Structure 1
Amino acid sequence: MANVLEARGLSREFGGFRAVSNVDFALKEGTIHAVIGPNGAGKSTLFNLLTKFLSPSEGRILHKGEDVTALRPPAMARRGVVRSFQISAVFAGLTVRENIEMALLRTNGIGWSFFSSIARRPAIRRRVDEMISRFSLDEHADTQAGNLSYGRKRVLELATTLALDPDVLLLDEPMAGLGHEDIGRITDLVRESGKGRTILLVEHNMRVVSDLADQITVMVRGEVLAEGSYAEVSSRPDVIAAYTGGQHHG
């Protein structure tokens, strides 16, 4: 499998503190890859570097073999690399349907002029209906996004992000703050969304990681400690020791 996103010798310092130190990382095409680690491990900083919300102090980032170190998030989105829950267009004052319409119109490069264009584009209307059904939002289609429960709002955010049809989807703690039922729903949606694309996620919930991830990178103190399948990394004494005494999520 080809490497879709790579980091080579990636480091980031904040006032002399190295949050990420000389990290090599490869995200392989068609996989779901999780980055885990105890609090302060540097995983969020690595995620922000890979999604171009931070610039590295040292090292390079490559997308499909091309150096993209200097690119900003909008340029990465145009290349099909999209960070969910950050870039997704969810507007509290618009309904669920209108939010998905907005995202689809952006994807098709169409201006959004108070929905006048929607009526003339039945293909987009059909696609909106498909996505509302796929994400089980039918009964909330005409509800303002600001009135949704937290879990449903996260479902809508994922739906609007996938409306952008990214090749690479980057998820920053998608299960944070969700109840048990919503975690199950989002897990199923992420798994379904992974078909035909590549996903990178930072996630604390180890049950979700074991359920979803093909490959796992474990970070400790800004460095990569271990890589492999969940079975491989979870049984390593050094990984267990890294979580011992820290914040362990089972």
Structure 2
Amino acid sequence: MNNADYALEAKGLSREFGGFFAVRSVDFRLARGSIHAVIGPNGAGKTTLFNLLTKYLAPSAGAILHDGEDVTPLAMAQMAQRGVVRSFQISAVFSGLSVRQNLELALLRPAGIAWNLLGLVSRRPEVAERANALMHQFGLVEYADALAGNLPYGRKRVLELATTLSLEPKVLLLDEPMAGLGREDIGRITDLIRAAGKGRTLLLVEHNMKVVAELAERITVMVRGEILAEGSYQEVSSRSDVMAAYTGQTGAGAAHG
């Protein structure tokens, strides 16, 4: 593969917090159009890597490339404008707005319209139509007028995924999308993520190894801020050092996930 085949790359990427390296000298490549998972024990640096790749955090050293172009100096909003979007581990929806309003807000954001101007949706029929389409796609029609804060937790996560996808990201980073979900919700969201991966590039941090095995074409294993292994699920799961990392024999801490 040449640089044009990679949606995101990290070269010598590091992030230091007061002398502690949450990520240290990481080289990473995310192939365009793939579903790639980052796994590892608590404290491995997975979420910090996500934060760096999306510019939620600035690196202490190293470079980040998007579509082969150095984007290290860019801010998070500029990365989003380039189509690199991430979800957060904790559900990020507006509890005081309805499901429909959350989706309309997400659709209006690219136009720079503030949340308190939601009345403008009535003059933008394409926004209302797209919100309706998203509710049908994600099984949220019956909750359309319910306040997001009153939704069951699993439905909140579905709404978060729907609002994230409303931004039409080219590269979508999902941080522990299955966290806190029951078995039924995990199956539903796994299917939604698989569908969302069609035509775009997905990178996810996930602890549920069954989900990782089902979704990811390639897996990167991190331990103590560094990459320990990379390959298919079969390749990484058969390595004794990967198993040792998960059983705590590496001594990985829990300061930064």
| Shorter-chain TM band | over 0.9
Pairwise CA distance, 1:137: 0.5
For the pair 1:170 / 2:173, whether they are aligned, the reply is yes
* Residues 32 and 214 in structure 1, CA contact (< 8 A), matched pair in contact too: yes
Among candidates 121, 125, 128, match of residue 128 of structure 2 = 125
* Matched residue, 1:138: 141
Q: Which residue of 1 aligns with 2:194?
A: 191
Output the amino acid matched with 1:149. Answer: P
1:1-250 → structure 2 map (5 Å cutoff): 2-85=5-88, 90-109=93-112, 114-245=117-248
In structure 2, do the counterparts of structure 1 residues 146 and 87 end up closer, same or farther at CA, with 3 Å as the change threshold? Answer: closer
* Distance in 2 (alpha carbons) for counterparts of 1:55 and 1:120: 39
Q: CA deviation at 1:88?
A: 8.8
- Partner Cα separation in structure 2 for residue 65 and residue 107 of structure 1: 24
- Cα deviation, 1:143-192, whole Å, max 9, x if unaligned, reads 01111111111111111111111101111111111111111111111111
Shift of 1:117: 2.6
TM-score (norm 1): 0.92
Counterpart residue identity of residue 40, structure 1: G
Aligned equivalents of 1:63, 1:101: Cα separation in 2: 28
Verify the 8 A CA contact 1:96 1:140 in the aligned structure 2. Answer: yes
CA displacement, residues 14-52 of structure 1 (integer Å, 9 cap, x when unaligned): 221222111100011101110001111111221111121
Q: CA deviation at 1:8?
A: 0.2
Task: Kindly state the Cα deviation for residue 91 of structure 1 after the two structures are TM-superposed.
Answer: 1.2
Distance 1:36 1:241 in 2: 14
Change (3 A) 1:242 1:113: closer
Q: Is the 8 A contact 2:172 2:203 kept in 1?
A: yes
Please state whether the residue corresponding to 1:158 is helix, strand or coil: helix
CA distance in 2, matches of 1:102, 1:94: 9
| Structure 2 residue identity aligned to 1:10 | L
- Provide the secondary structure at the position in 2 that maps to 1:55: coil
Distance 1:110 1:39 in 2: 39
Provide the C-alpha distance between the structure 1 equivalents of 2:6 and 2:41, rounded to a whole number of angstroms.
26
Which sections of structure 2, spanning at least 5 residues, go unmatched? 252-257
Amino acid at match of 2:186: I
Question: So what's the TM-score if we normalise by structure 2?
Answer: 0.90
Equivalent residue pairs, number: 247
CA contact under 8 A between 2:121 and 2:127: conserved in structure 1? yes
Distance 2:179 2:186 in 1: 9
Query: Take 1:11 and 1:119, find their aligned partners in 2: how far apart are those partners?
Result: 47
1:96 counterpart letter in structure 2: V
Give the deviation of 1:85 after TM superposition. Answer: 3.2
Cα distance in 2, alignment partners of residues 245 and 83 from structure 1: 29
| CA offsets 1:76-119 (integer angstroms, 9 cap, x no match) | 10111011137997211111011111111223555666443322
